[in-house]
Amino acid sequence: MPELNQHPENEHQQPSGATRRQFLRGAGTAGAAGVAGLTVMGLGGCAEGAQTSDIRPGQGSAEPGDNDFLAKARVPFDGPHQAGVDTPQQSFIKLIAFNLKESKTSREDVIRLMRLWTDDARRMCSGLAGLADLEPENLESTANLTITVGYGRSLLDKIGLSDKAPEWLGDLPEFSRDELVDAWNGGDICLQICADDRFTLSHAARFMTKTARTYVDVAWMQDGFLHARGSIEPGTTPRNLFGQLDGTANPAPDEHDDIIWINDGPEWLRGGTAMVIRRVAMLMDEWDILDRASREVAMGRTIDTGAPLTGTDEFDDPDFEALDQYGLPVIDPNSHMARAFSTDRSERIYRRPYNYDMPPGPDTRGTSNSGQIFICFQKNPLKQFVPIQQRLDEADRLNEWITHIGSAVFAVPHGTNEGDYWGQDLLEG
């Protein structure tokens, strides 16, 4: 998108039904009610003004209208980049983090696992069952299956390859509002498995986990979803569980080389990327009592169209200078959009978030256990994700209704050619 970092002036589009002052009172009440709301980003926010141009078009070999359009829909496994990063988002995700078993921490062990895994992933994404799969029928629909691998700092440390790790690989700096739970943090290896069919996803994830169980234990597992294919118009931005259009400002394909794909440093990461995963609990009980106008002020955008409060269209550039009739900024400087916004072109990320919604458990707050699995890809999280998140952590109206409860960073090696295995030039280097 060429029109980055502009602040066009536009004064109309005031949130309807309530004034800014009413909202501020409301927010104060919600805060006083004891919501230890924390940081967010990606919940409809934007780090820039670029237009989404690649959300959920038809892909693979078949299209809706064909009875088995999902059954035969495939995303190529091999290529310069791993699939599942800038692949249009499938409807479902399963993220699984693994830790090496204590008896399996040699480089040879990891090579064996990667050989097995790459072969099975390649086969499954191509519509073949994994090797020795006793339930090949459960993969009858490929449904745009992608399987993507990432390595944590702890993996490289355990197998004696710390010197091959990029400086950004490791825990993110602490953010003041984080309430991270060990159960959702870190991991030696991560598999991101995505598909447009929840059943296919389940089988593929089970098969990968089973293949690996001699080598690794599961550290954590996260399930997420978007709308089903066929439910929203292809190319439109999906909504999150707060009702916000979420994904408006993702970079266009011609910017991916600048933002996502690493093109220097160690060979194994050239063509690769850095993956940040944040589990963001959304406090639905508290959100529910907030009126619609206040929600729009918190976001800086309208709910129906997703337009900035100074515009009329989702993709209008925001005007942070515009004032309302009381002389207050139309877009609250502490709104999520305003805080996430950057005039620094280097602070851009490629977001690929999913919703989660699980039965409440003993650890959940209130009557919901839902939120967002925020996922973003970039060359370097310390330069791209972290500065945005630091601004949001310092001030963001949405912080009242969200809490970051999990965090992980993985290095995603470049893609494979047929016959190669994941991370080959790292592990054999």
Coil, strand or helix at 90: coil
CB of 385 to its own copies, least distance (A): 25
| Site of tokens 């290896």 | 189
What's the DSSP call for residue 269? G
Q: Report d(CA 308, CA 48) in Å as an integer.
A: 12
Listing DSSP states for 239-260 in one string gives B-TTS-B--TTPPPGGGHHHHT
For residues 171 to 210, the per-residue mask of contacts with its own copies, x marking binding by CB under 8 A and - elsewhere, is -------------------------xxxxx-xx--x--xx
* Residue 246 appears among annotated catalytic residues: yes
CB of 65 to its own copies, least distance (A): 4
Handedness of CA 45, 46, 51, 57 (dihedral sign): negative
* Residue 128 contacts its own copies per CB under 8 A: no
Q: What is the token pair recorded at 64? A: 């809706």
* 277-306 positions binding its own copies, by CB under 8 A: 284, 288, 290-292, 295, 303-304
Are residues 353 and 373 in contact, defined by beta-carbon separation less than 8 angstroms? yes
Q: Where are the alpha helices (DSSP H) in 146-228?
A: 153-158, 198-211
Q: Measuring CA to CA, which residue among 50, 39, 4 is closest to residue 350?
A: 50
For residues 241 to 280, the per-residue mask of contacts with its own copies, x marking binding by CB under 8 A and - elsewhere, is xxx-------------------------------------
| Site of tokens 């592990």 | 427
Catalytic residue among 109, 178, 188, 246: 246
Q: Which is nearer to its own copies, 223 or 347 (CB)?
A: 223
Q: Which is nearer to its own copies, 232 or 328 (CB)?
A: 232
CB of 27 to its own copies, least distance (A): 16
Q: Report d(CA 104, CA 144) in Å as an integer.
A: 32
* 204-233 positions binding its own copies, by CB under 8 A: 206, 209-210, 213, 218, 220-223, 225-233
Q: How far is CA 351 from CA 41, 83, 150, 372, in A?
A: 10, 15, 16, 12
CB of 265 to its own copies, least distance (A): 34
Site of interaction with its own copies (CB under 8 A) = 64-65, 67-71, 91-92, 134-135, 137-138, 140-141, 143, 196-200, 202-203, 206, 209-210, 213, 218, 220-223, 225-234, 238-239, 241-243, 284, 288, 290-292, 295, 303-304, 355, 357-361, 367-368, 370
Q: Which residues are catalytic?
A: 246
